[in-house]
């Protein structure tokens, strides 16, 4: 019985191959209606599921709002001071955008160093990653903002005033430097993994037509690696947006600093910090949406 069955399938497969070999236009499938019906059912099931998940979100949101009301939440205070907090959003965005750009460059250099056979490049990148991943961001911020000027003063005493001045950075510059160095260290490993995920055959094909290592990296490996690591970079970008809150310790007038200031004025902590939190939240939602759009764009070459 089993054998007959097998023969039957083999026979059908042969027939299928023969049909495929005739390249003419395929005739209409008599069972097309059934296929359409199945598709419609699947689509309906998907829609219902999406609606259900949406409903859960709405319920959670309502519950949260009710809880806030019970906790003596003062919406009037939020409305009055929303603009003041909102103005910090642009500073936050600037910090995050500049820092992710610089961090990506550092991460690329770090990854090339990690993958290099040059002992100096290998040593520097390994040391960099270990140092900046191994210490808290907050301490890095303090060291750059408060520690570096100390070195600058020493250099001025030693007779290099111009060099010394370069060690005194504004709060904004310090924030960008700290965030870039810290995230660059984490992202080095992302870039390294992305580069290594491209098959060795790609490298061989490139060098076989005479490309140098640098050309191979720039023209063949990186364009493919970037597509793979875009979701991870997006993830880091979102994490960084929230870590910009830590630079408020230097008195940069970004979201958290502004919210904190008003919260303390009249002890309206819930009102102000919830306002800031919602603004961060919205920012990350927009970023996630942008990231998915970029991802889809880069997938173009890989769609059948």
Partner 1 sequence: MHMNDKYIIQVEDLHKWFGMLHVIKGISFSVQPREVLVVIGRSGSGKSTLLRCLNFLEEPSTGRISIAGNSVDTGPGVKVDHSTIITLRLSTGMVFQEFNLFPHMTVIQNVIEGLITVKRMNKDEAIPIGEKYLEKVGLREKRDVHPIRLSGGQKQRVAIARALAMEPKVMLFDEPTSALDPELIGEVLDVMKEIAYDGATMLVVTHEMGFAKDVSDRIIFIDQGLIVEDGPPEQIFGNPLDERTRLFLEPLRKVQHL
When asked if residue 210 is in the footprint of partner 1 (CB under 8 A), the reply is: yes
* 289 SS3 class: helix
Contacts with partner 1 in 159-198 (CB under 8 A)? none
When asked if residue 119 is in the footprint of partner 1 (CB under 8 A), the reply is: no
d(Cα 303, Cα 258) in Å, to the nearest integer?
46
151-154-156 Cα angle (round to 5): 110
Minimum distance between the CB of residue 218 and partner 1, rounded to whole angstroms?
A: 9
User: Torsion angle, CA of 77/78/80/82, rounded to 10 degrees?
Assistant: 150
Instruction: Select 98 or 298, whichever has its Cβ closest to partner 1.
Output: 298
* CB half-sphere exposure, 300, CA atoms < 13 A: 5
Cβ(155)–Cβ(167) under 8 Å?
yes
The CA distances from residue 76 to 82, 197, 239, 265, 268, in Å, are 10, 53, 31, 15, 11
Give the one residue of 19, 173, 215, 265 binding partner 1; rule: CB under 8 A: 215
Instruction: Select 289 or 302, whichever has its Cβ closest to partner 1.
Output: 302
Give the one residue of 109, 137, 138, 211 binding partner 1; rule: CB under 8 A: 211
Instruction: Select 191 or 257, whichever has its Cβ closest to partner 1.
Output: 191
* CB half-sphere exposure, 10, CA atoms < 13 A: 6
Give the one residue of 40, 64, 166, 205 binding partner 1; rule: CB under 8 A: 205
Minimum distance between the CB of residue 229 and partner 1, rounded to whole angstroms?
A: 14
Q: Beta-carbon neighbour count of residue 172 at 10 Å?
A: 17
Minimum distance between the CB of residue 219 and partner 1, rounded to whole angstroms?
A: 6
Instruction: Select 32 or 304, whichever has its Cβ closest to partner 1.
Output: 304
When asked if residue 224 is in the footprint of partner 1 (CB under 8 A), the reply is: yes
When asked if residue 14 is in the footprint of partner 1 (CB under 8 A), the reply is: no
Question: How many residues line the site for partner 1 (CB under 8 A)?
Answer: 23
Instruction: Select 37 or 213, whichever has its Cβ closest to partner 1.
Output: 213
When asked if residue 219 is in the footprint of partner 1 (CB under 8 A), the reply is: yes
Q: Which residues bind partner 1 (CB under 8 A)?
A: 17, 199, 201-202, 204-212, 215, 219-220, 223-224, 227, 301-304
């Amino acid at each position: 019985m089993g054998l007959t069955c097998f023969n039957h399938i083999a026979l059908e497969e042969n027939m299928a191959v023969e049909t495929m070999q005739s390249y003419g236009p395929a005739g209409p499938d008599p069972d097309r209606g059934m296929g359409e019906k199945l598709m419609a059912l699947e689509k309906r099931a998907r829609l219902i599921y999406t609606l259900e998940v949406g409903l859960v979100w709405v319920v959670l949101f309502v519950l949260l709002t009710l809880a806030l009301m019970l906790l003596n939440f003062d919406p009037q205070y939020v409305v009055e001071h929303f603009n003041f907090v909102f103005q910090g959003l642009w500073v936050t965005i600037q910090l995050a955008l500049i820092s992710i750009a610089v961090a990506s460059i550092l991460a690329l250099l770090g990854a090339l160093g990690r993958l290099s056979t040059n002992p100096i490049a290998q040593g520097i990148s390994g040391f960099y990653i270990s140092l900046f991943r191994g210490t808290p961001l907050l301490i890095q911020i303090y060291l750059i903002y408060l520690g570096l000027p100390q070195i600058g003063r020493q250099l001025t005493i030693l007779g290099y005033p111009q060099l010394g001045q370069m060690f005194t950075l504004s709060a904004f510059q310090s924030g960008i430097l700290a965030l870039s160095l810290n995230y660059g260290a984490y992202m080095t490993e992302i870039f390294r993994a992305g580069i290594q995920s491209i098959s060795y055959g790609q490298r061989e094909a490139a060098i076989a037509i005479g490309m140098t290592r640098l050309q191979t990296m720039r023209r063949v490996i990186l364009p493919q690696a970037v597509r793979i690591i875009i979701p991870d970079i997006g993830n880091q970008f979102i994490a960084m947006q929230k870590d910009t809150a830590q630079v408020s310790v230097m008195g940069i007038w970004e979201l958290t600093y502004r919210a904190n200031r008003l919260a303390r004025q009249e002890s309206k902590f819930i009102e102000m910090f919830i306002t800031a939190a919602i603004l961060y939240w919205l920012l990350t939602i927009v970023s996630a949406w942008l990231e998915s759009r970029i991802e889809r764009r880069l997938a173009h070459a890989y769609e059948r």
